[in-house]
Homo-oligomer: A and B are copies of this chain.
């Protein structure tokens, strides 16, 4: 007892004394405690008089009030099976009376070594990322799939602003990296922290799990559909953020830093080559309205305009359709257009787009599962030492949806 006065943890400035109701000077204005085990009429912290610094209510405060140990109060909230129902009810009542909501999340995160949240790194600037319905849909689906596990989703900016580095300083148990071209600064930090990572729509780093669409097959089936309709002059409309102006690609298969764009284009070119044809590739700078518009206008005006175009996204396809219509062409009679994703744009344009559908819900679900598994694995490894289960790479199948933006090639253009 030479160490510390009674109750090693008693709050220093709280107006409640450290042990039981008997000891210590009575709190100002407090009448004698009402007899009986029930909650006294003494008003709790939730209506403290103005100007009085509100004492911080912690487990200890509640424990002192009820006359049990801190640990028992903790159990009342976090492990109800560890104490009698009667005592638990009493503790909960006291807590409610004191305005104690529950264990402090930050303290719990530290003690439990788990934050209850995962990070998500998105492609672009945050503002633009959610303009893309594909990214937004994935994000929503991920969050929804994660909800039942109790993990919340936190947005981590890919690039830092204002000297803050959330990727380094945010408490998360793992992270999803979505379609980040190459190695972002944020990803670098996450890797250094050795957080469980899942890469989506992007090649995973060695040792990490991945969830990828079968983009190559998507490009292929889009072209095969057009070939079956008799088209021989098929172009690909895609993006390449390495360039600064739209135009025909010199090295079609090289593509830019975007994995998805490269794969989709490659799939389309594969199918064309398999048919003994050579595909042309028209690249715009990025998948944003203002960057697509000038490109498609030029593409439509091209004297050697193809009879059919496979697009990197429904957004591009929708722009292309409207540009064609504005130029007096009819879709699909004069120009067949295939989209990609089956996002809002696909059924919003007229004619509705024939497109390669991807299953957003599945993507979010698989990413959620891969991440929770990676987190579980990493926790297990902390105990039993590293076991090397090969991280998985999931592939999501795609499917061609036939609508109204494709038809047989014009008579005079057929081989």
Contacts and interface: CB of A to CB of B under 8 A. Distances in A.
Interface in A111-131: 113, 115-117, 119, 125-131
A117 B162 contact: no
Given A107-B110, A147-B126, A171-B171, A192 B101 contact: yes
A154 interface: yes
A126 B140 contact: yes
A21 interface: no
A157 B51 CA distance: 35
Greatest chain B CB density within 10 A among A52, A101, A350 is at: A101
Given A150-B162, A152-B170, A385-B53, A137 B143 contact: no
Interface residues of A, number: 69
Interface in A66-104: 101-104
B130 A136 contact: yes
A116 B155 contact: no
Contacts of A53: 385
A110 B56 CA distance: 14
A136 B127 CA distance: 9
B147 A116 contact: no
B105 A113 contact: no
Contacts of A154: 117, 152-155
A380 interface: no
Interface stretch (A5-13, A269-277, A295-303, A341-349): A341-349
A348 B348 contact: yes
A393 interface: no
A105 B169 contact: yes
A411 interface: no
Contacts of A170: 105, 116-117, 152
A265 interface: no
Interface string A332-375: 00000000000011001110000000000100100000000000
Interface string A218-244: 000000000000000000000000000
A129 B140 contact: yes
Contact of A108 (B149, B169, B325): B169
A109 to B, nearest CB: 4
Interface string A48-65: 001111000000000000
Interface in A135-177: 136-137, 139-141, 143-144, 147-150, 152-157, 161-164, 166, 168-172
B348 A115 contact: no
A66 to B, nearest CB: 20
Contacts of A44: none
B147 A51 contact: no
B166 A150 contact: yes
A106 interface: yes
27 contacts: A51-B385, A53-B385, A101-B192, A106-B110, A106-B113, A106-B115, A107-B110, A109-B110, A126-B144, A126-B147, A127-B141, A127-B361, A129-B140, A130-B130, A130-B136, A130-B139, A133-B136, A136-B136, A149-B162, A150-B163, A150-B169, A152-B156, A152-B166, A154-B154, A325-B350, A344-B345, A348-B348
Interface of A: 50-53, 101-110, 113, 115-117, 119, 125-131, 133, 136-137, 139-141, 143-144, 147-150, 152-157, 161-164, 166, 168-172, 189, 192-193, 318, 322, 325, 344-345, 348-350, 361, 364, 385-386
Given A147-B157, A152-B154, 9 more contacts: A102-B168, A105-B115, A116-B170, A117-B170, A130-B130, A131-B136, A131-B140, A133-B133, A150-B169
